[in-house]
Homo-oligomer: A and B are copies of this chain.
Amino acid sequence: MVDINHRVGIKAPAEKVYLALTTNKGLESWWTNDVYGAGGVGSIIEFRFNGGGPDFAITQLIENNRVEWTHSGNMPEAWIGTKITFQLCSEEAQTWVRFTHSNWRESSDFMAHCSTKWAVFLLSLKDAVEANQGKPFPNDTQIDHS
């Protein structure tokens, strides 16, 4: 199994970062502008990009500390069986966000694409929380010309 790992530091309390990870409105501020279903453990969040997109089941929530999603549904196929975690850790100057998208079957080109794109979206999360200037889809930073 192969994992994507990232880490950013956000100048804001953990409470504010946690809201951006656990509410439709928060998620719409940095990943995609079309999110439905965020709620408690067991909820299925539907992330949509021009109509299509992945679903994730919320499998763990520790308030202001940890968010875990397990991929749900059939697409994208390479994401089946994968899991996403956001681990928060507050220090005086910032809240650290340790991100993993784990359990990929292989380090394919698509996985490498997603790794770069996750960095882009985590910086969008940082800008959304710090300055209300996230760049969710469809205004996300482009990493290629496809």
Roughly how many angstroms separate A122 CA and B145 CA in the complex, as a whole number? 15
- CB neighbors of B among A39-56 (8 A): none
Q: Indicate whether A94 sits within 8 Å of B145 (C-beta atoms), given known contacts A112-B99, A115-B119, A119-B115.
A: yes
> How near does chain B come to A20, taking the closest CB pair, in angstroms?
16
A120 part of interface (Cβ distance < 8 Å): yes
This chain: how many copies in the complex?
Answer: 2
Question: Mostly helix, strand, loop or mixed at chain A's interface?
Answer: mixed
Q: Is the CB of B5 within 8 A of A111?
A: yes
Interface size on A, residues (CB 8 A): 33
A16 part of interface (Cβ distance < 8 Å): no
Chain B residues lying within 8 Å of A10, measured Cβ to Cβ, are: 144
